[in-house]
Amino acid sequence: FVQSDPKLSSAIIQRQGDKPHRYAVGGEISDGVKLHAVYRDRVELQRGGRLESLPFPHRSGGLLASADDITSENDSIEQLQSLQDENAAALRERLDALRQQMEATPIAEPAEEDS
């Protein structure tokens, strides 16, 4: 997800054997590996102080997508939706916890002034 401000860009990266995860620029993907930059056609990772490029997969056949490409794209959309749902659920949990914390904390009454 390329943004006009590169620091706000992010990418969905799937490590072998894991579910895809969304990483922001600067986010740690694994020990010693961080997402350095996101471009339209690739992402750059920083590993041990060196930059590595990971190109996005290209569709074969130009503008026409094969059934496999469409299935893969649909799977990617479903995975992205799942990530968004997980993020929304985590946000709801945090809001509920904050609400409970606020309800549990008594509000100090202002002192009445004698007139």
DSSP 1-27: ---SSGGG-EEEE--TTS--EEEETT-
pLDDT band for position 8 (50/70/90)?
confident
Could you tell me which residues are beta bridge partners of residue 33?
30, 47
Query: Span 1-56: which CATH code?
Result: 2.30.30
* Whole-number pLDDT of residue 4: 74
Write out pLDDT tens, residues 11-51: 888 777 888 888 889 988 888 899 999 888 888 999 888 99
Does 72 or 34 have the greater pLDDT score? Answer: 34
Statement: the pTM of the whole predicted model exceeds 0.75:
no
Q: Provide the strand spans (E) within the chain.
A: 10-13, 21-24, 28-30, 33-38, 42-47, 50-55
